Chain A
Amino acid sequence: MSYAYLFKYIIIGDTGVGKSCLLLQFTDKRFQPVHDLTIGVEFGARMITIDNKPIKLQIWDTAGQESFRSITRSYYRGAAGALLVYDITRRETFNHLASWLEDARQHANANMTIMLIGNKCDLAHRRAVSTEEGEQFAKEHGLIFMEASAKTAQNVEEAFIKTAATIYKKIQDGVFDVSNESYGIKVGYGGIPGPSGGRDGGSAQGGGCCS
């Protein structure tokens, strides 16, 4: 299928926070609790539309265990967007965000758009990290933030699309030289950035979904 732009995303965060489930929910619109844990990296892709332009998201889903960090770092290269995921029911996954962010800052291009996702918000009764803390962290580090659930699909679509919309806006604003693929953007048919209205597509409300 032809696209105006292709954006590379990377999903990072501790193991078990639901990265693979988020990806599957986004690409296949289903929740499959029974699947194999990720070794190395896995891929997903989906077309979305922003500002009436078809945009292909190519998504890299990584393994989260500490031992694999040095490998994971090599995947940041050329990512336009990152979904940094923690599990709202496990505090330690939130505590590790800073180190994930550090990796991202060091190994990704500086203009990478980062979306912080507090996943498993369907498990509100087991919540260990408040929405405010997530918001606060995102604000401090200049990230977009959403709580989501790969299980109920809540905010999943939104998270991926909002990230794309942000990247798209950066293109419109001339932040990227899109001919340089190290920004994680490939230009396809009809994707030459022009002075179009810059209306953000997709739904773009942030914040907690289940506070």
Chain B
Amino acid sequence: MQETELHDLSDDADYAASQLQGSASMMRSDSISKQSSSSDSDGAEIVYSKDNVTIHPTQFASERIGGRLKLIKQGSSLFMSWIPYKGQSSNARVSEKDRNLYTIRAVPFTEVRSIRRHTPALGWQYIIVVLSSGLAFPPLYFYNGGVKEFLATIKQHVFIVRSSEDANAFLVNDFQNPLQRTLSSLELPRAVSVAIEPSTSFSAGESPSNENQQRIDGGFHNESSSISQYNAKQRQKVHDPRDLSIQVLEKFSLVTKFARETTSQLFREGHGNGYGAIERRNHDQSSFDYPERVSSVKENVPDEIPVPSDPLEKIYCLKHNHVEEAATNLGTFELISCKEVDKLTLVWGKPRQPPLGSEEWVTFLDSEGRIVDSKALRKRVFYGGVEHGLRKEVWALLLGYHSYDSTYAEREYLRSIKKSEYETIKIQWQSISPEQAKRFTKFRERKGLIEKDVVRTDRSFSFYDGDDNTNVNLLRDILLTYSFYNFDLGYCQGMSDLLSPILFVMEDESESFWCFVALMERLGPNFNRDQNGMHSQLFALCKLVELLDSPLHNYFKQNDCLNYFFCFRWILIQFKREFEYEKTMRLWEVLWTHYLSEHLHLYVCVAILKRYRKKIMGEQMDFDTLLKFINELSGRIDLDSILRDAEALCICAGENGAACIPPGTPPSLPVDGLLLYTQQDDVL
């Protein structure tokens, strides 16, 4: 308890004071003070200052924190700071606490890896600053412009080059080998999480006294975790507050307490005791993992690794307050706590239900065919999926091709409109003559690639087998039409895997096309040439594992596996190759409900990894072995139990889980909404 208090200082007066002190020291810099830090007496000069540079803690522009962005030169070093305005609340929902959390106090450019500029056609320009640690600050929106100046000013003071991969990315301190660096940046997530590593924070300004330092570090630890909660708020909107399972957990403060607790655990170092009791007690069943254990994990593999005795059923979460038992009358979760100082809570995902059948389906519809309560429908599908015969109707709704409040008649009408629209796009490539094709390399390449791939897509499945199968030709036509509909994205391998079940379900060319379009609105970034969408998901996955299984995270770290490339195929095509056809369809409809999270697929990844954690760590798998092992899991994963685990993990992780996932991470709709696949010409 005491430990937690120490590390949760956000509401603490001293903490607030230390925050003030932090900004005060910067203010001294602002006024070009001579009494600057003890280590550096050169004084500081503001070389750039911009007002109304704003952070959006959520994706809703109404919730924002305005502030001033500055570049400060001190000696030969350049620092960046962003201090929110005090007491000028744009929105009641943005608390003073948030304001403090997002503050960027003098970060030296030696710790900046790259800056990526985003210039949406509509809306404000923003930048994302990525630190050398690979972590990043939340997007800074320039309400009054000035991105160009900002970059130009930096250029005057530090070495900065444009990435050859991405015209809008600028690499800082890239002395050695720009090419090398650019390549290696590909292996890292682009603009992602927002946690600030403690060590990167207090570099300018005075060094506080020891005691203060401790305090401040504590504050930063807390800040690091909480700062990234901006996404969580958005998530809460996805959740219906009346949702019972969430309510149960919130009632016992599980979500928030767990989140806060876990994160302060994650950032705490050198604290080696206090949990032995739980560990001993749960030695053979606890999957509960503490960073403190890492060192011993390394030495004592495999026996000392705490793993669940029955990993198929149980996931444990730490809970901090006093709940003896909270078995719910809803039957959704069972919460059991141990009688230790820190309680252990056990959460099972709800048992899976039989798929939604037609009798029950009509109860969701009003007389004209509208879905009366779309949330209830999504929940039902989340827990059980849909009978195959209903998929045609339900998928179109889940994917967003038809809206929930459309009537039968409206849907029918839309179908006919969309059919002719599809034909119009299709004719664009159909009308290309051989003569024209000769002069249209890109078209020939795409067509060639698609033709090669559709004959290598699910051919062992009866719907697509045999020579000259018409469905294979439909796959080709739809993909080629899509590559004209979205010419910027074009065609990329993996798309045929995503289209295949859709065509199988929809059984109609135009309908399949539009459902595919709807799916690609969300998954398109998976296929970006620069793999941005994939990297941001792999990065979020990394953060989630860190949150939910820190020994496993540390294991991956020690074994150079943090790129999570072994999960690449899972994410790229939504586990299509990991399950048999029917199971894949089941999983997809569950994922598409976005019921607990838009990113349930990441929790599915965590659930699978957790299930095999003992094997992975026990056998000391290196990257190659792990990749091979994961590949060979294909066809051997039990979907229902993994879904239950994923559900439980998602609820366990709560806000902090959501905060691991940066805004715009697929399958979220892109933050910019526009210009997904183009790169802008540029200025600097």
Chain A residues with a Cβ under 8 A of chain B: 8, 15-16, 34-37, 39-43, 58, 63, 65-68, 70-71, 73-75, 77-78, 106
List the one stretch of B147-155, B280-288, B346-354, B569-577 in contact with chain A: B569-577
Chain B residues with a Cβ under 8 A of chain A: 183, 186-187, 449, 452-453, 455-460, 465, 492-494, 496-497, 527-529, 531, 563, 565, 568-569, 572-573, 577, 623-624, 627-628, 631-632
Distance in angstroms from A5 CB to nearest chain B CB is: 16
Are the C-beta atoms of B457 and A70 separated by less than 8 Å?
no
Are the C-beta atoms of A36 and B457 separated by less than 8 Å?
yes
Q: Which of B452, B528, B565, B627 contacts A16 (CB 8 A)?
A: B452
Are the C-beta atoms of B631 and A43 separated by less than 8 Å?
yes
**Residues of chain B lying within 8 A (CB to CB) of residue A73:** 183, 187
Are the C-beta atoms of A15 and B531 separated by less than 8 Å?
no
**Residues of chain A lying within 8 A (CB to CB) of residue B631:** 40-43
Are the C-beta atoms of B493 and A8 separated by less than 8 Å?
no
Most central of A34, A70, A74 by chain B CB within 10 Å: A70
Distance in angstroms from B321 CB to nearest chain A CB is: 44
Are the C-beta atoms of A65 and B623 separated by less than 8 Å?
no
**Residues of chain B lying within 8 A (CB to CB) of residue A70:** 183, 186-187, 531
Q: Which of A37, A39, A41, A66 contacts B627 (CB 8 A)?
A: A41
**Residues of chain A lying within 8 A (CB to CB) of residue B459:** 34-36
A-B contact pairs, 27 of them (CB 8 A): A15-B449, A34-B455, A34-B465, A35-B456, A35-B459, A37-B457, A39-B572, A40-B568, A40-B572, A40-B631, A41-B627, A43-B632, A58-B628, A63-B493, A65-B449, A67-B493, A67-B527, A67-B531, A68-B493, A70-B183, A70-B187, A70-B531, A71-B565, A71-B568, A74-B563, A74-B565, A74-B623
Nearest A residue to B453 via CB reads A37
Are the C-beta atoms of B569 and A40 separated by less than 8 Å?
yes
Distance in angstroms from B482 CB to nearest chain A CB is: 16
Q: How far is the CA of A153 from the CA of B82 in the complex (A)?
A: 65
**Residues of chain A lying within 8 A (CB to CB) of residue B492:** 65, 67
**Beyond A34-B465, A43-B628, 4 additional pairs, beta carbon < 8 A:** A39-B497, A40-B568, A67-B492, A70-B186
Closest 9 CB pairs of A and B: A37-B456, A40-B569, A70-B186, A34-B459, A16-B452, A65-B493, A40-B568, A39-B569, A43-B628
Nearest B residue to A45 via CB reads B628
Q: How far is the CA of A63 from the CA of B496 in the complex (A)?
A: 14
Q: How far is the CA of A65 from the CA of B529 in the complex (A)?
A: 10
Distance in angstroms from A68 CB to nearest chain B CB is: 7
Q: How far is the CA of A25 from the CA of B553 in the complex (A)?
A: 38
Q: How far is the CA of A175 from the CA of B457 in the complex (A)?
A: 43
Are the C-beta atoms of A36 and B628 separated by less than 8 Å?
no
Q: How far is the CA of A34 from the CA of B461 in the complex (A)?
A: 11
Q: How far is the CA of A94 from the CA of B70 in the complex (A)?
A: 52
Most central of A35, A58, A63, A65 by chain B CB within 10 Å: A65
Are the C-beta atoms of B529 and A77 separated by less than 8 Å?
no
Distance in angstroms from A12 CB to nearest chain B CB is: 15
**Residues of chain A lying within 8 A (CB to CB) of residue B531:** 67-68, 70-71
Distance in angstroms from B460 CB to nearest chain A CB is: 7
Nearest B residue to A90 via CB reads B448
Distance in angstroms from B454 CB to nearest chain A CB is: 9
Distance in angstroms from B179 CB to nearest chain A CB is: 9
Q: How far is the CA of A63 from the CA of B528 in the complex (A)?
A: 16
Nearest A residue to B531 via CB reads A70
Are the C-beta atoms of B458 and A36 separated by less than 8 Å?
yes
**Residues of chain B lying within 8 A (CB to CB) of residue A16:** 449, 452
Q: How far is the CA of A75 from the CA of B529 in the complex (A)?
A: 19
**Residues of chain B lying within 8 A (CB to CB) of residue A68:** 493, 531
Q: How far is the CA of A106 from the CA of B184 in the complex (A)?
A: 12
Q: How far is the CA of A67 from the CA of B527 in the complex (A)?
A: 7
**Residues of chain A lying within 8 A (CB to CB) of residue B458:** 36
Nearest B residue to A68 via CB reads B493
Q: How far is the CA of A106 from the CA of B568 in the complex (A)?
A: 22
Nearest B residue to A65 via CB reads B493
Distance in angstroms from A158 CB to nearest chain B CB is: 26
Distance in angstroms from A33 CB to nearest chain B CB is: 8
**Residues of chain A lying within 8 A (CB to CB) of residue B623:** 74, 77
**Residues of chain A lying within 8 A (CB to CB) of residue B493:** 15, 37, 39, 63, 65, 67-68
**Residues of chain A lying within 8 A (CB to CB) of residue B497:** 39
Q: How far is the CA of A123 from the CA of B623 in the complex (A)?
A: 38
**Residues of chain A lying within 8 A (CB to CB) of residue B624:** 8, 77-78
**Residues of chain B lying within 8 A (CB to CB) of residue A36:** 456-459, 577
Q: How far is the CA of A78 from the CA of B625 in the complex (A)?
A: 12
Distance in angstroms from B619 CB to nearest chain A CB is: 15
Distance in angstroms from A171 CB to nearest chain B CB is: 20
Most central of B494, B497, B577 by chain A CB within 10 Å: B494
Q: How far is the CA of A3 from the CA of B442 in the complex (A)?
A: 48
Q: How far is the CA of A89 from the CA of B552 in the complex (A)?
A: 47
Distance in angstroms from B440 CB to nearest chain A CB is: 15
Q: Which of A15, A42, A75 contacts B452 (CB 8 A)?
A: A15
Nearest A residue to B624 via CB reads A78
Q: How far is the CA of A106 from the CA of B531 in the complex (A)?
A: 20
Distance in angstroms from B450 CB to nearest chain A CB is: 11
Q: How far is the CA of A67 from the CA of B489 in the complex (A)?
A: 11
